Amino acid sequence: MLPASSPHTFHSYADADALATQLAQTLTAACHAAIDARGRAWLALAGGRTPLPVYARLAAAGLGPIEAIPTDERCVPHSDPACNLHQLRVALAGNPEITVHPLTCADGDPVRSLDLSRTWLARHPAPFDLVLLGMGNDGHIASLFPGAANLSEGLALERGTDVIASVPDPLPPEAPYPRISLTLARLLHARAIHLLATGQHKRQVLTQVLTDPQCHLPVAALLRAGTPIQIHWSP
């Protein structure tokens, strides 16, 4: 899957269950190392459906203090099942030592949410101990969508803006909402970065990105940034 010169590592699993078990062990080990070194683990965790079994396994592990934020958020109320914060908190609820902080206001208002997330991230500048990213069928990562008007701001590699508000164009039918997203530069400010994808369509997207230099999907910007990424895939 990867050219010999690639800085990345590709992990292929027999099925989604095996992927979730192994990836949860990897997250657990990273959290233990961070807690031993710095007293807490500091994570950015993908939203969407694919990582939820990983989070359920992580919540079941004996860990220590973990603070996390979503990599991105849908601008909906926190009580809405489409809210990444909501899903993360539900999946991690079994472990009271894990705190997930919001990127948005409780009502999901995009303008005030951008202000909130910028202020909050400015106060929390430490590199993430681990970033777990998902990927959409359209090659988006976090909420950095191919058709967004301000995508270039979100993908810029110079540190400056930690978070952007954007509107996917077209809106994805499964989650048609304005978004708040960490920028690629902020996501790369991390000790370890993992990318999670399941299914044949997402594998084709990854293959295209890794083999076609003319492919300019957001996930391509991640994989060409020069930072080693651990890619996890299963059917």
Ligand X SMILES: O=C1O[C@H](COP(=O)(O)O)[C@@H](O)[C@H](O)[C@H]1O
| Binding-site string for ligand X from residue 155 to residue 174, where x marks contact by CB under 6 A and - marks none | --------------------
Per rule CB under 6 A, is residue 102 in the interface with ligand X?
no
- Smallest gap from Cβ 139 to ligand X, in A, equals 10
Per rule CB under 6 A, is residue 26 in the interface with ligand X?
no
Closer Cβ to ligand X, 38 or 204, answer by number: 204
Per rule CB under 6 A, is residue 71 in the interface with ligand X?
yes
- Smallest gap from Cβ 19 to ligand X, in A, equals 12
- Candidates 87, 113, 117, 143: give the one binding ligand X (CB under 6 A): 143
Tokens standing for residue 124: 């929390």
Q: What residues contact 197, with CB distance under 8 A and at least 6 apart?
A: 50, 134, 135, 203, 205, 206, 231, 232, 233
Q: Diameter of the chain by CA atoms?
A: 48
Per rule CB under 6 A, is residue 201 in the interface with ligand X?
no
User: Applying CB under 6 A, what is the total number of residues that bind ligand X?
Assistant: 13
Q: How distant, in Å, are the alpha carbons of 29, 48, 141, 186, 190 from that of 126?
A: 19, 25, 21, 10, 8
Mind giving me the DSSP string for 103-143? SS-TT--HHHHHHHHHHHHHT--SPBSEEEE---TTS-BTT
Q: 35 to 64, contacts with ligand X by CB under 6 A?
A: 46-50
- Smallest gap from Cβ 143 to ligand X, in A, equals 5
Using the rule CB under 6 A, give the single segment among 21-29, 123-131, 136-144, 218-226 that binds ligand X: 136-144
Tokens standing for residue 148: 């967004």
- Sign, CA dihedral 203-8-20-128, equals negative
- Candidates 102, 108, 110, 136: give the one binding ligand X (CB under 6 A): 136
CB 159: neighbour CB atoms within 10 A? 12
Chain residues binding ligand X by CB under 6 A are 46-50, 71-72, 84, 134, 136, 142-143, 175
